[in-house]
Structures are given as C-alpha cells and as structure tokens.
Chain A
C-alpha cells in the first residue's frame, strides 16, 4: 500500500472517531475495512477515482454525523418491562432499570431553552421597554422585537417537545409532565436572566417618565412608592406569565411528542401541521403583545393599586408601608422575598434618593429572586425524588423498588 493510501486510511480512521461511540464500536472496524477495499479499488483505476472517493466521504460526513448523533440522543431504548408504567414527569422511565431514578433530561432541555428564550426576550424588551419608560426612544427595530416575541413563544414549545422525546417518555402523562417542566424552566430561566430585570424597569416607568429633576416631597414620595410597588407588581406578574405560559406551551409540545409514542393521541396527527398551526397561533399572540398592550396592562395594574392612593395624600409614610405590605402579602412565593429583600436592602433616604441607593435596592431584590429560583428547583427535585422512590416501591413489580423483591 502506498504512502498516500496509508495516509488516507489513517485520516479516515481519525474521522471515524467523530462518530458516536456506540456506532463506532458496532461498525467502526467494518467501515474502515470497507473504506480500505474501496480505496484499493479506486487507486487501481485512477488518481481521479481516488480523489473522488475521498471527496465523497468528506462531503457525506457532516450529514452522517448529524444523523447518528440525532439517533443517539433521541433514540428510545428497547422496552425491557412492557407492563410497568412510566412514572412520568421528572422520573426516569422505570422500564430502563439501569438508569437512575431522576430524569434530568427535561431539566437540561428547559435550561438550554431558557437561555435561548432569554436572548429572545431581550430582543422583545429592547423594542418595548424604552417606549414604555421614555416615550419616543426605541433602540430595537420593531421587526427584530417582533421576532423576539415570536421566539419567546415558540421556544418553550420546542423545549417541551425535545424534553419529551429526549427524555424517552412513552406515555402521554410522562410526555406532558416532562414538556410542561421543560417549558416552565424555560420561562423561569428567561425570567431570571432578562425578564425580572425588564420587569424592574417596567415597574419604574412612572419614575422614568418624570425624569431627573427636582420634585416636591409629596410627589417624590408618591413616585418612590409607586416605583417600589410597581417593581414588585411587575416582577410578580412577569414571573407567573413566563412560568405559566412556558409550562402550558411546553406541555403542548410534550403532548405532541407523545403522539409519536402511542399514535392518534391528538386530533392533529401530522407533526408538520401541528407545528405550522402552533407557529401561526404564536405569530398572532406575538402581534397582540405590542408595547401598547403592555402599557394597557400597566395602567390596569396601576388602577388596581389605586385603592391605597388616597392614603398618600393624608399620610405619605403610612401609605408607602401599606402599599408595600399589601403587595408583599398578596404576592407570590417569589415576589414576597423580593419585596422583603428590597425593603431590607433599601439604602435610600426617602427625601434624598441616590443612584447607589437605588442600585443597592435593586441588587438586593435580584439576589432574593436568584436565591428563590435556586431553591424552587431544588425543592422540586427533592419532592420528586421522594415521590419517585415511593412510586417505585409501591407500584413496581417484584424485583424492582429498592431491590426489595
């Protein structure tokens, strides 16, 4: 064998290492042998044939790699215990006894989807927030902001679909739970990275509109209380909107993925039609989420809070406390700690607010949000582990469930 052929063979052996290990172990030696035979044949014909052979292998390589990795990641393992139902949601399909109890694949899908959704949300907010805060100032083209809104809606759906496929869920319940979990995580991550900060700016719209100028004491206190309450309200609202919408869309994606398993689960049995229709719905939804719609939402929120406004005229300090108290009491698990942290870390003198003081307050609130967001998944994982362990123990056939046959 000539030096050129040996080099080509060595090169091909190196390229084979790019394939997924299971595929390489099963077919690598055979592929190398076949390539060596083809190489010898081509070398016997002409140099052109030899070059064409190498070019063909290189040309086909990316597509083949993509196909094999896709098959590896999305493949369903053989069903080992067909009568044992899936735990669903966070749990590994128990028909794969070698795997751990907890199925983290939906979590990974949600985290990756969330990072992409955060970028999309940033685009969307770039178009909306300046219009809300400072009229006439737009930093993002409207088309780009619209694309961002569309992606924010589509990404949880895709994350849910991928989580259900990738997590090997076979039944509708498991796929739905996995999809909803991934979608909710997508929303949560997007909220943590971008949404909460955006909500913070949105909540201070009144203050931003007033601008950096001297204000009478009453006006200043009014603006400050409106600003703090607005931050809490907007953070609260954005958290539940993103998490809820993410869970719903992710669940829809997971449900569609289940169709691949059981067949005929949905009325729309064509995946392309399903995604086409969903994309249309998302376009329609994203068109309704214009800055003006967000402004209307903000004004509704303001009116809801206006019940406490009359106190502002009579006793401003009391009004501030009542507003904060009412908002914190009615807020969620998330916005409660954020409001509390915001109050605790408030470095502002009410009569002389400073930029470092405002920054300190915002950082405190953000820290609380981050802590809560770390605690919520940990709590979920812990609860699901306990539930999964009990589920396996009570429902598993003999021989499974902690090994207590």
Chain B
C-alpha cells in the first residue's frame, strides 16, 4: 500500500497546500483559497477556476470529499465544504515525510559543507 501512496508523490504545490489547508478541519471554497495564500506566505494565490478544478480532481481521486456545511448560502441551501478523507490524509502525511527527508538531507549536506 505504501508503494501505491508513493506513486502519487510528489504532489504539485497547489494540491499540497489545498490538502494542508484541510488538515485541521473542513473548509468551504473561499476559506481554502485564503488559507492556501496564508500557508504559502502569499506566494501562491489560486484563482477560483484553478481552485475548483483542483477540488474536482481531488474529489474524483477520493482524497477529499464534498459535504454540506452547517451554514447556508444566500438561497438558503446548505453551503458546500470540503474535508480530507483517510486516503487524502495518508497521502499528505507521506508527502510531508518526503519533504522532511529532503530537508534533512539538505541540512546534513550544508552542515558537511560548512565543516
């Protein structure tokens, strides 16, 4: 199963930040957009088309799921929110682990160079 997960890596930057934004709790579209901008330090700013294209694909891959939020929209319908699935959580953890390995390798290498 680990191999299956590893085949999905590395994640693209928007995918990684979208999954990361959903890690603490479920969010609706605009909240994801703002959280992605905040997490990336303002470097990554997703347009609505790009955001929803990515959300659609992540839903199809069952990494996230679309649920009804407690809030209602202007028409009185429940707003849609997105939350991580178990598979999405595992993939995100695997990606974080991969990035940590890279950082450790870079730190070791730069420490060796400094010596």
Binding site for B on A (CB under 8 A): 19, 23, 26-27, 29-31, 33-35, 37-38, 56-57, 59-61, 63-64, 67-68, 71
Contacts and interface: CB of A to CB of B under 8 A. Distances in A.
A360 B28 CA distance: 71
Interface centre among A38, A57, A71 (most CB of B within 10 A): A38
Nearest to A22: B56
B83 to A, nearest CB: 15
Given A30-B52, A33-B29, 10 more contacts: A19-B49, A23-B52, A26-B56, A29-B73, A31-B49, A31-B52, A33-B73, A34-B30, A60-B49, A67-B53
A38 B30 contact: yes
30 contacts: A19-B49, A23-B52, A23-B56, A26-B56, A29-B73, A30-B28, A30-B29, A30-B52, A30-B80, A31-B48, A31-B49, A31-B52, A33-B29, A33-B30, A34-B29, A34-B30, A34-B51, A35-B48, A37-B30, A38-B33, A56-B45, A57-B47, A60-B47, A60-B49, A60-B50, A63-B50, A64-B49, A64-B53, A68-B53, A71-B57
A30 B80 CA distance: 8
A29 B52 CA distance: 11
Interface of B: 28-30, 33, 45, 47-53, 55-57, 73-74, 80
Nearest to B52: A27
A356 to B, nearest CB: 61
7 closest A-B pairs by beta carbon, nearest first, are A64-B49, A60-B47, A34-B29, A27-B52, A34-B30, A37-B30, A31-B48
A56 B47 contact: yes
Contacts of B55: 27
Contacts, number: 49
Nearest to B50: A60
B47 to A, nearest CB: 4
Nearest to A65: B49
Contacts of A30: 28-29, 52, 80
A60 B46 CA distance: 9
Nearest to A68: B53
A60 B29 CA distance: 17
A186 to B, nearest CB: 31
B37 to A, nearest CB: 10
A27 B79 CA distance: 12
B49 A57 contact: yes
Contacts of B30: 33-34, 37-38
A71 B52 CA distance: 13
A33 B52 CA distance: 12
A30 B47 CA distance: 13
A307 B60 CA distance: 67
B52 to A, nearest CB: 5
A220 B16 CA distance: 78
A30 B53 CA distance: 12
Contacts of A57: 47-49
A140 to B, nearest CB: 43
A376 B95 CA distance: 55
Contacts of B80: 30
B13 to A, nearest CB: 15
Nearest to A62: B49
Nearest to B74: A33
A58 to B, nearest CB: 9
Nearest to B55: A27
Interface centre among A33, A35, A68 (most CB of B within 10 A): A33
A61 B47 CA distance: 9
B55 to A, nearest CB: 8
A61 B48 contact: no
Contact of B33 (A19, A29, A34, A61): A34
Contacts of B28: 30
A143 B110 CA distance: 52
B45 to A, nearest CB: 7
Contacts of A71: 57
B8 to A, nearest CB: 15
